[in-house]
Amino acid sequence: MSLCSPSNLRLSVIALGLSLLAATAAAGPREQALTIHSRIAGVPPSTAVLAQMSELISSGDTAQAVRIAMDNDGFYRATLKTWVTPWTNRDMTAFAPLNDYTATVMGLVRDEADFRELLTADVLYTGADDLGLPAYSSNDNAHYQALQDSDAELGSSLVRRTQSQLTGVPAEATAGVMTSRGAAKAFFVAGTNRAMLRFTLLNHLCRDLEQVHDVTRTPDRIRQDVSRSPGGDSRVFLNNCVGCHAGMDPLAQAFAYYDYEYNAESDPDAERGAIHYNAEGETDPASGDRTEAKYHINASTFAPGYITPNDNWLNYWREGPNAILAWDPTLAGSGSGAKSLGRELANSGAFASCQVEKVFTKVCLRKPGNAADRALLSNATSAFAASGYNLKQVFIDTADYCKGE
């Protein structure tokens, strides 16, 4: 019989499962405490902390044991930093420097705030004033680079502030990290602002454009810069391009008044740019109205296409296959500007389940892959919502589940 026969493969899988169960069963409170601390804080616990956590686990209070691990600054400098940083750049690298986007996620987690504020609130976290850091600037990242290079504990040095007062973006136009300088530098720079929607879906609803592709939506809001017959073949548009653009363009219209401005000649890497917002009464000199010029580029590609007049967005994905994203039925599915779009996205079922899936992968060091994992994800997602979207609760539930691995 071949070593690769179905029978031998099934026996191997069964043996592997039994060995994992045995390892889990053999992991006592001390081993579980060590696993929790190493995965939550990224470093082993001290002897005293290990003993304290072991005693809590023995008494059935694993949640408090996890909270002790989260008190270690490694939870912020190692675990959260490497977890969040890929969300803040197009390369999705964890090696980018700390910025206002990353710090704001850390602060919301630390303060056990409603995590939906991530996409809606007039909030930004900076380093404390007494750390001797350069002042926050909407034109560079010096403040956060200095904070990263300092010996300060990130967990205790972050201070919640009002984004509108720091960046000059009106309070009603702020939308959590979407309107942070870090996000603007990555996703509003150049282009057509579709990148902000694409990476927000990817990072916070766990769906890239391929996963929301739907050719059945009405294409009436697709902009002029999209060819209706790429390469002279309209079938490509009807069977491919329309699947993303019919839903994406009316949603990305929420960002019509935003840009990231910098001097391309003296600063080709856009390191000294700033987020810009066309407030009420302002007129963009290139477009002749309030919308940014980038919404009108390449208009001759398909002149009869949609001409963006304002920031009124519409969610066509509430119907059809993307109804599975569980949109909030109490919301209208339309609105004006980034803040209301952030509310639409953050109140979806996909937003909640996405955070749980990402925490699971970070803490358990693997993707969910069996019925028990899926049950944990479902229960943790419900607990996340019931806790007022407190992400620390997700870390607690997941660390408890994986503590014997």
- Which amino acid is residue 86, in one-letter code? P
- Is 298 found in the same domain as 242? yes
**328, 345, 376: which is closest to 247 by C-alpha?**
345
pLDDT the model gives residue 6: 43
- Is 390 found in the same domain as 308? no
- Is 124 found in the same domain as 34? no
Is pLDDT at 241 greater than 70 in this prediction?
Answer: yes
Distance between CA atoms of residues 323 and 224, nearest Å: 27
Mean pLDDT of 83-109: 98
Residue 115 lies in a domain: yes
- Which amino acid is residue 89, in one-letter code? N
- Is 150 found in the same domain as 106? yes
pLDDT band of 286, cuts 50, 70, 90? confident
Residue 146 neighbours by CB under 8 Å, 6+ apart? 127, 133, 134
Threshold 0.85, pTM exceeds: yes
77 contacts 43 by C-beta, under 8 angstroms: no
Burial classification of residue 102, based on how many CB atoms lie within 10 Å of its CB (0-12 exposed, 13-18 middle, 19 or more buried): buried
154 contacts 106 by C-beta, under 8 angstroms: yes
Residue 375 lies in a domain: yes
Residue 124 lies in a domain: yes
**Boundary (domain end) residue, out of 72, 101, 132:** 72
- Is 298 found in the same domain as 384? no
**127, 385, 366: which is closest to 398 by C-alpha?**
366
What is the number of structural domains in the chain? 4
**357, 346, 351: which is closest to 398 by C-alpha?**
357
Residue 383 lies in a domain: yes
- Is 343 found in the same domain as 353? no
71 contacts 58 by C-beta, under 8 angstroms: no
**Boundary (domain end) residue, out of 17, 43, 72:** 72
Residue 277 lies in a domain: no
- Is 366 found in the same domain as 394? yes
pLDDT band of 146, cuts 50, 70, 90? very high
Is pLDDT at 22 greater than 60 in this prediction?
Answer: no
- Is 242 found in the same domain as 131? no
- Is 327 found in the same domain as 372? no
* Structural domain containing residue 56: 29-72
Q: What are phi and psi of 164, to 5 degrees?
A: -60, -30
183-239 pLDDT, tens per residue?
999 999 999 999 999 999 999 999 999 999 999 999 999 999 999 999 999 999 999
pLDDT the model gives residue 20: 38
Distance between CA atoms of residues 205 and 208, nearest Å: 9
Residue 200 lies in a domain: no
pLDDT the model gives residue 26: 59
Residue 181 lies in a domain: no
- Is 33 found in the same domain as 151? no
- Is 217 found in the same domain as 337? yes
- Is 133 found in the same domain as 97? yes
Distance between CA atoms of residues 254 and 90, nearest Å: 20
Is pLDDT at 160 greater than 50 in this prediction?
Answer: yes
Residue 23 lies in a domain: no
